Structure formats: structure tokens, C-alpha cells
Structure 1
Amino acid sequence: MSYIDWYEKHAVKHKKIIDKLTAQGYGKEQIIEYFEYENMAKNEKEFCPLYERGDKCHDTDYLNCYFCACPHFRFKDDGVEKIGSKTKYSFCSIESKNGAEGVYGDAIHQDCSKCLVPHTKKYVTKNFDLSWKKVMSDCQL
């Protein structure tokens, strides 16, 4: 699956949950709490394939899934740049010290697995918007 395919499909899933919660009268704080990993894994199993296995994408006690995918992630399905014989497809716009580049054959992809920037309650609260696509609008190059 390409980055853009995942991005578009995920935006639909995210909006469906937001629409459900706002219809129930949830405010910002309640929505942020709803997106905590334990609740999402219990109530929104289709949101993430890791939920069924009881796995987390990041090794941390507290994980907020509101920004599944990071607003600082940048991608281009046909490649951001060529580096020798390899093609770079994604990168971190803030160059997080906990991010890394993964090399897979001739492809280079951003590895965010050790970065918790968008998954803290403080970050989600500061950058919250009901429209996930609006917050994520700079991701696709």
C-alpha cells in the first residue's frame, strides 16, 4: 500500500470516530482521552491492525493514538530524492533525535518507532484539531 493510499484510508477512519464522538457531545478533552491506546484497542479495533494483537507501535506506557502518523512526517510516493542508487520516500521534518532512516533494499523510509513526539497528551492537546487531514496537510509532498 502506498503512503497516500494509507493516508486517505486512515483519514476516513479517523473522521468516522470524530463524527461519532462529536455527535455524542464529546469535547476536546474527552476526544483526546478517547484516543488513548487502551480505550482505542478496546473500542475501535478496526482503527489499527496492532490493536487485535495487543501490540503498540511505540514502546511506552502512555500512548495517545490521535496522531497515528505524525504531522512532522513527510512522504512522496514517487520518491523525495535519490541518494546514490537508493530512493528516499519519507523523512522527519523536525529531524527528531529519536527518529532514524530505515534502508530496505533500494528504498529509504523514515523510522519513527522510537519517537513519541505526537503521542503525548501534551502534544495532542497543543496541536488538536477535529480535522486530522488539516493537521496532517503538510505530510504529502
Structure 2
Amino acid sequence: MARLAVKLLLLDEDDRILLIHAQDPQTHARCWYPVGGGVDPGETLQQAAAREAYEETGLCDLSPGRHVWTRDHTYEFDGRTLNVHEEWFLHRVAHFTPSPAGLTEYESTTTLGFAWWTAEALRTTSETVYPPQLAGLISTKARQSL
């Protein structure tokens, strides 16, 4: 059964997206991915989005986002295969410096840092970014949110 998750396209005023840099503890492969995580029992998607934004970046009072995408995905991390059903939301935020407020011990060991990325930087990077189509997604969704 797939785990329900929210993923957040946190776009600042210059259409840059905040991504987390992580490293797989077993393979040591590094990647970048958007903020987000599992939805707890009894939580709405927006509540989960606000909680994940706070825990992972320290961002308080996340305003409701606009639903922009749904994805079913299977990936491997730390020797486990994970099946997720992701609901993606676009949130416009003021640029800020992330300061995680509630990472688990495990998340603290896998998280290397954060960076704000432009769609162009995502298109041209040789680094691993998930999902691979993120540059096109944020370009399209950013234009639609204007």
C-alpha cells in the first residue's frame, strides 16, 4: 500500500524553489528534492504541508497552497523500497534561510543542507534532482500562479 505524502513547491518571489540536499546512508548517493513528507492520521493535506514545512525548514504559518500535481511513485532509499502517493502543492513564500525545527534523528543524518534553485539551474545541473521533471513543473506552475 502506498503511503500518502505531500510535496511542496515552495517558490520565492524570484520563482526559485527550495530543495533539500540529502545523502542515502547506504549507497552514499546524493540528491536534491522538494520539502514534504508523510501525512499523519487525521491530518488534512494542508495541515501536513504546514507541519512538514515547519519541521524541515522552520517556516512558520505556511499559507494554504494550490494543488498542482498528483504522482504515484516508487523509490529506493537506505535499502528500502518505498511506495508513495504524492499530492503536490504550490506555495508562494518570501525568500528565507531554512533552519529545520523538527527533523527526526534519522532525517538529521541524511539531510546535508538546502538551496534555492531556478528552473534554469535545475535544467542544466549534473546533480540528481527528484523528480527529474521538476524544472518543467515549476516553470509551468509558476506562470499559472501569476
Bin for the TM-score computed over the shorter chain: under 0.3
TM-score normalised by structure 1 residue count = 0.25
Indicate the structure (1 or 2) with the bigger Cα radius of gyration: 1
Normalised to the residue count of structure 2, the TM-score between the two structures is 0.25
More helix as a share of residues:
1
Give the number of the structure with larger relative contact order, counting CA–CA contacts within 8 Å between residues 6 or more apart.
2
